[in-house]
């Protein structure tokens, strides 16, 4: 939490003069971008591998109402100056640390190194792997000149975990001569059913114990810096800190945080 | 590791900021985009200008042909004002004496009813 406090103080209280840039996109045109560089995603699960991050795609397509944007499918119902309401659907991201073929892991190379398990922890290789879940729900955004608030309310529509989640975020950006600095503060709520499906230990896991994971609240913060070089190329650096809150009580976890870092060159095709 | 990288990120941004500050002629305004309901609506926003030139000059910022702010014997400056911006509004940095146009910039006014463009609802490069 002290990390979050540091970031908050650093960026929200000091820089006040610059403005956020609206990200506009042409309707009917596919935006395809690829960032190549170096980075990593730390895996908080016991015996879970860290993921070397070598590329980040940026894929977006917007129609008049329909859109696909970086893994999220949406249908915009209300699109006013400040208020946007959309029906959305996306894969549940909680599966990303269990498998390598989640869309969020397509561009990631698995590291062969694994840390040894401790006695009071259970390895993810010992339990039944969770299934894919498709969540669907509503997204509301309030878009101001210099900041944006977003709220998602999503429920499992694939009959996998039968739970729901709520994601709140507040984003603000500052434009400097050298580029755009963006900060996003977020809070995710995972319901009991969802959290227990992914991070509980069930009797059929056959590991000699069970564990019921309760609902959890996960704060996170992301800081990114983008510097355009020309129309197609740019530089990107980002860091995302995810606190796992009470989830880390589960025997499946060996850490109470996950950190994503990346630095690279972006290219828009 | 988190803090080290955080520090690196900030240093990179600040270093780059200083490096680009030494570049030659610049004339930038923010925000770059302003959203309105209809295409003929006026966009009321606070516009921030930042400029710099290679040599000391007497310069003015003009909105279309109307001066907004002038400087004497300066190589850089910044300026903010509450503007009513419409589609096609052009700002320019000109030399007061010669009338030479040093640079121009404009704010992209987008109409949410035109539907030729939309605001992205997710952050770019947010796959991870």
Q: Using H for helix, E for strand and C for coil, what is the string for chain A?
A: CHHHHHHHHHHHCCCCCCCCCCCEEECCCEEEEEEEEEEEECCCECCCCCEEECEEEEEEEECCCEEEECCEEEEEEEECCCEEEEEEEEECHHHHHCCCCCHHHCCECCCCCCCCCCCCCCCCCCCCCCCCCEEEEEEEEEECCCEEEEEEEEEECCCCCCCEEEEEEEEEEEEECCEEEEEEEEEEEECHHHHHHHHCECHHHCCCCCECCCCEEEEEEEEEEEEECCCCEEEEEEEEEEECHHHHHCCCECCCEEEEEEEEEEEEC
- What's residue A112's pLDDT? 44
Is residue B115 within a helix (H) or strand (E), and if so which, with residue range?
none
Peptide bond into B52 cis (omega under 30): no
Which residues 6-45 of chain A have a CB within 8 Å of chain B?
Answer: 6-7, 10, 17-27, 33, 35, 41
- What's residue A129's pLDDT? 83
* Spans of chain B, pLDDT less than 70: 1-23, 39, 112-115
What's the CATH architecture for A2-268?
Beta Barrel (2.40)
- B19 interfaces chain A, CB cutoff of 8 Å: yes
CA gap A61, A75 in Å, rounded: 12
- What's residue A22's pLDDT? 47
Give the closest residue to B104 by CA, choosing from B24, B23, B27: B27
Which residues 172-231 of chain A have a CB within 8 Å of chain B?
Answer: 175-179, 181-182, 184, 223-227
CA gap B11, B14 in Å, rounded: 5
Indicate whether this model's pTM tops 0.80: no
- What's residue B20's pLDDT? 45
pLDDT tens sequence for chain A (269 residues): 444 444 444 444 444 444 444 478 888 889 999 999 999 999 898 878 888 899 999 999 999 899 999 999 999 999 988 999 999 999 999 888 886 544 555 555 544 444 444 447 888 778 888 888 999 999 999 998 789 999 999 999 999 999 999 999 999 988 887 788 999 999 999 999 999 999 988 888 888 888 888 999 999 999 999 988 887 899 999 999 999 988 888 888 888 999 999 999 999 98
Q: Which CATH superfamily is domain B23-111 in?
A: Immunoglobulins (2.60.40.10)
The number of CA neighbours under 13 Å toward the Cβ of B121 is 35
- What's residue A48's pLDDT? 80
CB-closest option in A26, A171, A240 to B117: A26
Q: How many CB pairs under 8 A join A and B?
A: 158
- What's residue A72's pLDDT? 95
- What's residue A259's pLDDT? 94
- What's residue A118's pLDDT? 46
- What's residue A15's pLDDT? 44
- What's residue B112's pLDDT? 67
CB-closest option in A57, A76, A145 to B127: A57
| Interchain proximity B119–A143, CB inside 8 Å | yes
CA gap A195, A263 in Å, rounded: 31
Residue B7's SS3 state is: helix
């Amino acid at each position: 939490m002290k990390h979050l406090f540091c970031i908050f103080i650093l960026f929200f209280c000091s820089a006040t003069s610059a403005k956020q840039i609206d990200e506009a996109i042409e309707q009917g045109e596919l935006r395809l971008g690829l960032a190549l560089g170096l980075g990593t995603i730390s895996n908080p699960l016991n015996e879970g591998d860290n993921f070397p991050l070598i590329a980040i795609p940026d894929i977006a397509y917007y129609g008049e109402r329909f859109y696909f944007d970086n893994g999220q499918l949406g249908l915009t119902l209300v699109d006013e100056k400040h208020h946007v309401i959309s029906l959305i659907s996306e894969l549940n991201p909680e599966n990303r640390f269990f498998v390598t073929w989640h869309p969020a892991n397509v561009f990631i190379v698995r590291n062969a190194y694994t840390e040894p398990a401790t006695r009071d922890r259970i390895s993810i290789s010992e339990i039944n792997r969770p299934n894919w879940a498709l969540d669907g729900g509503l997204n509301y955004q309030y878009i101001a000149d210099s900041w944006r608030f977003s709220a998602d309310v999503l429920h499992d529509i694939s009959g996998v975990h039968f739970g729901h989640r709520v994601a709140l975020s507040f984003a603000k950006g500052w434009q400097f001569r050298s580029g755009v600095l963006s900060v996003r503060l977020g809070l995710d709520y995972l319901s009991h059913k969802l959290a227990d499906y992914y991070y509980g230990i069930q009797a059929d896991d056959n590991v000699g114990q069970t564990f019921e994971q309760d609902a959890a609240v996960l704060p996170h913060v992301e800081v990114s810096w983008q510097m355009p070089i020309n129309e197609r190329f740019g530089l990107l650096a980002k860091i995302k800190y995810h606190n796992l809150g009470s989830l880390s009580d589960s025997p499946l976890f060996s850490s109470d945080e996950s950190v994503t870092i990346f630095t690279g060159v972006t290219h828009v095709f | 590791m988190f803090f080290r990288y955080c520090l690196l990120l900030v240093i990179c941004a600040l270093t780059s900021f200083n490096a680009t500050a030494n570049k030659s002629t610049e004339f930038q305004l923010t925000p770059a985009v302003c959203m309105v309901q209809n295409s003929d609506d006026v966009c009321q926003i606070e516009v921030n200008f930042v400029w710099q030139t290679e040599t000391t000059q007497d310069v003015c910022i003009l909105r279309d042909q109307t001066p907004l702010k002038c400087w004497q014997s300066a190589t850089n400056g910044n300026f903010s004002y509450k503007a009513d911006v419409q589609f096609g509004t052009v700002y320019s940095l000109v030399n007061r004496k010669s009338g030479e146009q040093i640079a121009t910039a404009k704010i992209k006014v987008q109409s949410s009813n035109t539907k030729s463009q939309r605001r992205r609802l997710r952050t770019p490069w947010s796959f991870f």
